[in-house]
A and B are shown apart, each in its own frame.
Chain A
Amino acid sequence: MNQEVSSITKLEEYKKSREKKVEVRDLIKAFDDLLVLNEVNFDIYDGEFLCIVGPTGCGKTTFLNVLAKLLPATEGDILIDGVSADPKKHNIAFVFQEPSCIPWQTVEQNIRFGLEIKRLPANEINKRTEMVMELIGLTRFRNYLPKELSSSLEQRVVIARNFVMQPDIMLMDEPYGQLDVKLRYYLEDELIKTWQELKPTVLFITHNIEEAVYMAERILILSNKPTTIKSEVIVDLPRPRNFADPSFVEVRDHITDLIRWW
């Protein structure tokens, strides 16, 4: 029982100590009469690394598209800093699951793509581009075309392109889903390092519980369709985390029990 009580107070303390960045209010999404998102309510805190765990095909791509305002919600809204989210006004970043490098642009041009749309001054674009390429180790590849890159390198370019926007909210749709475990851990470490450096608010969706526990400060668990938030867990393990150490395994098994969707 006490484990139950302590986790609630942990949640409250966690939330009190942070400022709200994104609020999702009574979000409903239905295609004709097929309900996909069923009154989704949660907040994301400034600079937080939030993971959302859900089975493939639980409407998570629709969920992210609605969050990014690529798809209109049937009901309810998403607020950034209290204002209704709008790609034109806010800086929304989205790392898609499928490869999304612009094939005819070099790595450097890809990274500048978002900044040019936002019409930032040239020197600001150059400064940020150099900085993020240095941070993610892509300087060597600046003139490569996407077809000359491996799939993991291509995904790092996409991530760099989104970090460089200094986004209000960075949505990530299972970016490492296809990669091998060794490569995945390497890229997860790099992602955490970059997040700690640039401090954006990150919403990372994945079906892999180990990956979520490895990276998240907080985890939301989605139900099966029609999707809603089933439960919420704080992960306050010290970093860098080790997937074999007992407290990690304990949190992971706890979340696996909460999910029970397969």
Chain B
Amino acid sequence: MAVITYLEAIRSAMDEEMARSGDVFVLGEDVGKGGVLNATKGLRDKFGEDRVLDTPLAESAIVGVAIGAAMYGMRPVAEMQFADFIFPATNQIISEAAKIRYRSNNDWNCPIVIRAPYGATGGGALYHSQCPESVFFGTPGLKIVAPSNPYDAKGLLKAAIRDPDPVLFFEHKKCYLGVTGPVPDEDYIVPIGKADVKREGRDITVISYGLTVQYALQAAEQLAKEGYSAHILDLRTLQPLDVPAILEAASRTGKVLIAHEDNKTGGVGAEVAALIAEELLYDLDAPVMRVCGPDVPAVGMNPPMEKFFLPSVDKMLDAMRKLAQY
């Protein structure tokens, strides 16, 4: 098992899947030189510029062209340069990709992957920091994935590329170089639709995805020193949600904290809370809590607003402690 970054995990998943099948290709803005965030670095040298295709600056076409290629039988991996720029492609994603199988009564299908680097790294301001997952969450026909570590990132991206349906793949930019971890040398996938317990615990349950899973893990270490043990469930796949795993994790402790960087109202956390309110009411020992971004358009550029906006280990720890002591 090599220890690699989240970014390398993503790159190597594409690399291996492209080597595995000539049907796989990547397309997007600046992917040829390696992408502005280096996710496709080195792929053009290896696979040629046809399979690492620099496209015109037009997201609706990037996704729409990928859809056409996918219907033909290819396995396109389309990169949105930043998740903030996915919105011009919304119509192609929601009206087309998500509905192709259903509307054709299973005659056609649309195996595209759309990679979208999301979340704030600091200094990205309103339009290089957004978490747009809740816009697409709740659109049946799409799968949505958001890994928190290199193992999951690589395994899920491989699964996404092999998946016969459209997958939105959200990569937290702050994980790219900030999170490293062991990854098997041999081929493996992480199945889409399965959440993962990242830490076993007895006192509180944290349910999260992406970067905030890492924060929760760090906060849990601290909390352990204070005598409380946190059970941490990483959703990994946002759609379809792994409902049994959510209910199992929530009932484990009866105290649930849901965390994400996306703003609170209408986020994925709302559905998780709703599932618990529907299914586990009598198992709860405390009201469900959510730690999320505030309900403002996006993060500000200047450091004070940024700090105020973004989740952190400290904010997480405060909430976890509060819940543990409830």
A, B co-complexed? no
Residues of chain B whose beta carbon lies under 8 Å from any beta carbon of chain A? none
Residues of chain A whose beta carbon lies under 8 Å from any beta carbon of chain B? none
